[in-house]
């Protein structure tokens, strides 16, 4: 389990041991049937001898096996970051056995839910300095946003089953977001500082301190995330660092299968963006334009340092209300919460964020956010006609009044 001080370093903020709030981590871990059971290992040393923390073997077998940083990038085992296809043969073993480290899937689980680790092919997408091999030079950074663009390493349309975070420099990484680009960007690994705006992209994965791997097999449903092969993928980092010599090789390992699931899921942005007047309470209501049922599988609340509480309510078209999330917020441990919520046409979702003092929206940790990253299917259904949200976050936002 990551201790409080390690989590503070993840956020890129100085220690505030005396001000630490009570943790709810034990309760969260007990509830997380959607996320993989293994936790990330953080390297907490600060000298020039710092080594990359253990992660998982990016091959078709042993998804959870630890490796070093150089092994992650081997195109002979996992597909190169420049789009080189994996050398290993496609998975051939049975997809009906349970995960070896997670127990059998729920009764009735089929297809992708029954895949074993060795049935998956995993691809690392990691921060770099332009050559896809050298760690990115973070240096001293204050709310710096950096985008790394990768050609799809899979040669045909594949389906993501597992997104596993790889966190190298936990003292510098505030969060990362993985986008699928609607229009292909710089192929092979472009690196550029950005403003954090993605009008032509779709969010497909996210990590904040405390967020566990997203493993669709845990749902017991035949669900995954479609990954086209003829576009690029952009990995955005938010860095904060007081170390002029800081470098980073963090990112994500995307574990896929070629079988198309019955349900294609995706991420949506819900919440509120308060640009006008500082307030201790922000509220936003998502009114989807879809004319079909929408199934929410999980949520990840995201605020900044002053965030204290988030509440999410399903508003039925008949006037009734169902609260499906009502918890205190921990900036240093932003867990993923499994939920089972189905929106019918005409329903909406209201997100309420509470802060310790009046705050206004901003991309830096000194300002605030009110986001509820939401995993749902069908992909692209949980969206609204909000123009501002669509410009900033692409076609996967659902904000409102």
What is the model's pLDDT at position 51? 30
* pLDDT, tens only, 241-288: 999 999 999 999 999 999 999 999 999 989 998 888 999 999 999 999
* 370 neighbors 323 (Cβ within 8 angstroms): no
pLDDT value at residue 325: 97
Which residues have a Cβ under 8 Å from the Cβ of 213 and sit 6 or more positions away?
35, 36, 38, 162, 163, 164, 165
Question: Domain 4-25+35-88+95-262, what architecture?
Answer: Sandwich (2.60)
Check pLDDT > 90 for residue 202: no
pLDDT at 12 over 50: no
157 DSSP 8-state letter? -
Instruction: Let me know: does 119 contact 93? Beta carbons within 8 Å.
Output: yes
pLDDT for 190 equals 73
Q: How confident is the model at residue 198 (pLDDT cuts 50, 70, 90)?
A: low
Chain segment 134-164, per-residue pLDDT in tens: 999 999 999 999 999 999 999 999 999 999 9
Per residue in 46-77, pLDDT (tens digit) is: 333 223 233 333 333 334 332 233 334 433 23
Q: Which of the pair, 49 or 35, is modelled with greater confidence?
A: 35
Pairing of the two strands 173-181 and 321-328: unpaired
Q: Where do the CATH 2.60.120.310 domains begin and end in the chain?
A: 4-25+35-88+95-262
**Residue 80 pLDDT level (bands cut at 50, 70, 90):** very low
Q: What is the rounded average pLDDT of the residues 227-247?
A: 94
Q: How far apart are CA 299 and CA 40, in angstroms?
A: 20
Dihedral of CA 205/262/390/341: which sign? negative
Contact 265, 297 (CB under 8 A): yes
Q: What is the Rg, in whole angstroms, of the alpha carbon atoms belonging to the chain?
A: 20
Contacts of 165 (CB under 8 A, 6+ apart): 40, 176, 207, 211, 213, 250, 251, 252
Domain 266-399 has CATH 3.90.1640.10: no
Residue ranges matching CATH 2.60.120.230 in the chain? 266-399
**Please, which residues bridge with residue 206 across strands?**
177
pLDDT of residue 347 exceeding 50 = yes
Distances (CA, A) of 51 to 42, 318, 328: 10, 57, 35
With residue 136 as reference, give the H or E element that holds it.
strand 136-137
Answer whether residue 23 shows pLDDT above 80.
no
Q: Is pLDDT of 179 > 60?
A: yes
Q: What's the pLDDT score for residue 242? A: 95
């Amino acid at each position: 389990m990551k201790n409080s001080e390690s989590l503070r370093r993840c956020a890129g903020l100085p220690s505030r041991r005396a001000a630490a709030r009570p943790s709810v981590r034990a309760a969260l871990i007990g509830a997380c049937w959607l996320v993989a059971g293994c936790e990330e290992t953080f390297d907490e040393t600060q000298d020039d001898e710092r080594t990359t923390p253990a992660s998982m073997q990016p091959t078709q077998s042993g998804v959870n096996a630890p490796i070093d940083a150089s092994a992650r990038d081997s195109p002979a085992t996992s597909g190169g970051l420049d789009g080189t296809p994996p050398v290993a043969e496609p998975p051939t073993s049975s997809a009906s056995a349970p995960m070896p480290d997670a127990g059998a899937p729920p009764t009735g689980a089929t297809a992708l839910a029954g895949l074993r680790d060795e049935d998956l092919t995993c691809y690392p997408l990691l921060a770099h300095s332009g050559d896809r091999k050298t760690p990115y030079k973070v240096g001293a950074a204050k709310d710096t946003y950096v985008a790394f663009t990768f050609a799809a390493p899979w040669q045909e349309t594949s389906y993501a089953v597992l997104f596993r975070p790889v966190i190298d420099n936990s003292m510098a990484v505030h969060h990362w977001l993985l986008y699928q680009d609607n229009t292909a960007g710089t192929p092979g690994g472009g690196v550029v500082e950005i403003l954090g705006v993605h009008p032509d992209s779709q969010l497909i994965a996210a990590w904040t301190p405390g967020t566990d791997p997203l493993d669709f097999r845990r749902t017991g449903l035949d669900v995954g995330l479609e990954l086209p092969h003829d576009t690029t993928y952009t990995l955005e980092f938010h860095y904060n660092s007081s170390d002029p010599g800081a470098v980073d090789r963090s990112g994500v390992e995307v574990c896929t299968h070629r079988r198309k699931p019955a349900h294609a899921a995706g991420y949506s942005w819900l919440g509120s963006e308060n640009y006008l007047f500082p307030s201790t309470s922000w509220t936003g209501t998502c009114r989807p334009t879809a004319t079909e049922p929408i199934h929410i599988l999980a949520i990840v609340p995201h605020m900044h340092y002053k965030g204290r509480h988030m509440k999410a309510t399903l508003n039925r078209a008949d006037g009734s209300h169902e609260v499906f999330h009502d918890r205190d917020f921990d900036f240093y441990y932003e867990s993923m919460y499994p939920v089972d919520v189905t929106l019918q046409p005409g329903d909406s979702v209201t997100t309420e964020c509470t802060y310790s003092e009046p705050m206004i929206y901003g991309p830096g940790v000194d300002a605030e956010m009110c986001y509820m990253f939401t995993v749902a299917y069908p992909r692209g259904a949980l969206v609204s006609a909000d123009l501002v949200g669509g410009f900033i976050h692409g076609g996967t936002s659902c904000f409102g009044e």
